[in-house]
Amino acid sequence: MADLSSFPITQRWPASHPDRLQLYAAPTPNGVKVSIMLEETGLPYEPHLIDISKNESKDPAFVSLNPNGRIPAIIDPAGPDGGAIAIWESGAILLYLADKTGKLISTAPAERYETLAWVFFQMSAIGPTFGQLGFFLRWGGKDYEDKRPRQRFIDESTRLLGILDRQLEGRDWIVDDYSIADIATLGWVNALIEFYAAGDILGLSDYSNIQAWLVRGLARPAVQRGLHIPARLT
């Protein structure tokens, strides 16, 4: 049986199955990237809900795993050298799991790096911009008298959707084959509709390529499961 006792987070969130990969996350657009990836690859794992509404990602035990205090993070008891390894940042986790399993990223250099470019596009542009738009639509930002910051993120979100829609022209997936680029992006685009209720304000119905891609992605059983892991507290 794997010994995870050197990781303080396992004292706060004990592992019932220490031989399985440990996932520390919440079902947010960033968190579900990893749960979807794990469901797609079939790796055995144990999910732990980090309740961000209670600032549990700032708990010292979690920060010991991710110094940035943000979900998701993982511990793999069977790391590359045979020992346990901790990884944080969703993009890094996706790449690690793709390389570990040999799935959802091409071994052909050109396609591999194109896939990574679109993953980084999500990490650097789509995630931060859509997240800020969500602040202005759903949380405290909606009370700001000055609407210029809100409009900035509407405009930028629209620009990014245009880029994504053009990339999907004539394709089923972002880089031809379904990959970590799609997994990284699906949760964020879905959140625009399901969580932020931004579909109308962004004119999402006008992006026919994105609409078709989202339907294809959400139809995948692994995506359907991953979107709700770890389960929220009732």
Which of 63, 78, 104 corresponds to the end of one domain? 104
pLDDT at 91 over 70: yes
Residue 227 in domain? no
pLDDT at 220 over 80: yes
pLDDT at 74 over 70: yes
CATH for 56: 3.40.30.10
| Number of domains the chain is built from | 2
Residue 225 in domain? no
Which of 38, 73, 104 corresponds to the end of one domain? 104
Domain housing 79: 9-104
Mean predicted lDDT score pLDDT of the chain: 96
pTM of the model: 0.96
Same domain, 85 and 164: no
The answer to whether the beta carbons of residues 29 and 219 sit under 8 Å apart is no
> Is the preceding omega at residue 149 within 30 degrees of 0, hence cis?
no
Same domain, 87 and 117: no
What lies within 8 Å, CB to CB, of 49 at 6+ separation is: 25, 26, 230, 231, 232, 233
Which of 55, 73, 104 corresponds to the end of one domain? 104
What lies within 8 Å, CB to CB, of 96 at 6+ separation is: 76, 87
Same domain, 99 and 198: no
pLDDT, tens digit (0-9, with 9 covering 90-100), for 20-32: 999 999 999 999 9
pLDDT at 1 over 80: no
pLDDT, tens digit (0-9, with 9 covering 90-100), for 107-160: 999 999 999 999 999 999 999 999 999 999 988 777 788 889 999 999 999 999
